[in-house]
Amino acid sequence: MKIRSWIGATLVGLALVVGPVGSTAWAETLRVVKNGTAETLDVPMNRAIVVESEEPFAELSIANAGIADISSLSDRTIYVLGKAPGLTTLTLFDGAGNLLANVRVRVSPDVSEFKERLRQILPGEPIEVRTANDGIVLSGTISSAAKLARALELAERYAPERVSNLMSVGGVQQVMLKVRFAEMNRSVAKSLTASLGFAGGDVTGGLNTLNNAGALANALNNNIPAVQTNTGAILFGFGAGSTQVRLLLEALESKGLARSLAEPNLSALSGQEATFLAGGEVPIPVPQDDGVIAIEYKAFGVEIDFIPRVVDGDLINLELAAAVSAIDNSSDFTIQGDNVPSFITRQTSTTIELRDGESFAIAGLIQDDFSDLNSQIPWIGDVPVLGALFRSAEYQRQQSELVIIITAHLVSPTRGEALALPTDRVKPPSEFDLFLNGKTARTTRAGAGAASEVAKQDFGSSYGYVLD
């Protein structure tokens, strides 16, 4: 049979006028129903197609009118409208009641507009769109998780809660986080105290600028203290007959410098949480309402908790919490006689965005504490030069500087032999080296591989990090 183009155009126009369709239906194309076939006829939902039979038919029926609606335009043409997703059967008979054709009619959601929007929003992404019953199936490899989320959000607008995601994200999706904690502490303290004692006959007395009974007793007894809080002491004395005068000067000058550095590394899959703790746990007594003491454990050390998300290409979103803590041995807090430790903690919690290999200073602190104290005996301490014997002075200054820097890298696994351990370059000594040569370890050359360069280094000289 030959399809005449002018007949087809006429039928399409007629279908738009007389076909029982809704306001959103329109004739899409011409199909030919071959004699005796049972092929599948795909009809988009809320759209219509016109089919033409090779032979004239006298009767036609549809198995499920809720899935598709039909209307005859002539004895050879049929107008089919998709109403709801599903599969049904269209049957044609001739005037004698003989079967002309049995056609499976499959109605599925119309995804042509969705495909067009997908190409506009995510150009160049190889996303395949298929229909499954009344839903949409997405497949293919997409370049980033953010674009995958956009595609799923768009699909939900066309098929709410009926989207099947078979897409995968290409590229590297594992992130290694390198965190550096660096802290410097400087302290300076100075003090000078004076204690004056005198005795003559039955009279004994003394002056002390800090109300220190021990220092005054040392001055009166002509003793230099063997144990003292200050670092130096000097005792002057003179006598005239039965009168004895003693002057005890105690002085302190201390300077301190402390440096702490921690550099933990941790890797995790994009979107997954990773935690790291290098330290320990301390039992803490906790009183209960019934008077019983329960024990809870408090972690300390270097802690990291982060969730990386590879947003697009090499752009990484980091949700991070990091802390460095240590036990404060100066604490004297007790609960029912049990000593409870306190902790010195430096911690931060933030969310940032950076690219592969970039670094970010997420926290910094400069602290400068200064205090001084001048104590003296009234009036006498104001006398020039001589008044220094009747007063004491204390001076303290503490400075600290803390910075936390993070670096994110996109990483992928490698062969095990390409990795080296810190223990690779040190081996137990032989008995000869231990007893005769006094060596406690035997160094060996590390294995080959780019990752083994650190293990092959000679650490006999200075190494590590230097803060100027």
Q: What is the pLDDT of residue 257?
A: 82
What is residue 436's predicted lDDT score, i.e. its pLDDT? 85
| The domain defined by 40-108 carries CATH number 3.20.20.70 | no
391 vs 446: CA distance, rounded Å: 65
Please state at what angle helix 112-121 crosses helix 145-158, rounded to 10 degrees. Answer: 150
CA 381 to chain centroid? 60
Which amino acid belongs to residue 245? V
Domain boundaries, the chain: 40-108, 111-169, 416-467
- 1: burial class by Cβ within 10 Å (0-12, 13-18, 19+)? exposed
Residues 6+ apart with CB under 8 A from 407: 177, 178, 180, 357, 358, 359, 360
Cα–Cα distance measured from residue 130 to residue 43, given in angstroms and rounded to the nearest whole number: 14
CATH T-level fold of 111-169: Alpha-Beta Plaits (3.30.70)
Give yes or no on whether 40-108 and 111-169 have one common fold: no
As a whole number of angstroms, the longest Cα–Cα distance in the chain is 156
Tell me what pLDDT residue 350 has. 92
Q: Are 3 and 32 in contact (CB under 8 A)?
A: yes
By the 8 A CB rule, do 126 and 169 touch?
no
Adjacent-strand bridge partners of 165: 138
Looking at residue 274, its pLDDT comes to 92
d(CA 44, CA 33): 18
pTM (2 d.p.): 0.56
Kindly provide the b/e burial profile for residues 261-273, where b requires at least 16 CB atoms within 10 angstroms of the residue's own CB: ebebebebebeee
CA distances from 261 to 12, 100, 305 (A): 79, 86, 19
Residue pLDDT tens, the chain, 468 long? 333 333 343 333 333 333 333 333 334 444 555 555 557 788 888 888 888 888 888 888 888 888 888 888 888 888 888 888 888 888 888 888 888 888 888 887 778 888 888 888 888 888 888 887 778 888 888 877 778 888 888 888 888 888 888 888 776 778 899 988 888 888 888 887 777 676 766 555 555 555 555 555 655 565 555 555 555 667 666 766 667 777 777 777 788 887 778 888 888 988 899 999 988 888 888 888 887 888 888 888 889 999 998 887 788 899 999 888 888 877 777 777 777 888 888 888 999 999 988 998 888 888 888 888 887 777 777 778 777 777 778 888 888 888 889 999 988 887 777 777 777 777 888 888 888 888 888 766 545 444 444 445 554 544 443 333
Task: Work out whether strand 359-376 and strand 163-169 pair parallel, antiparallel, or are unpaired.
Answer: unpaired
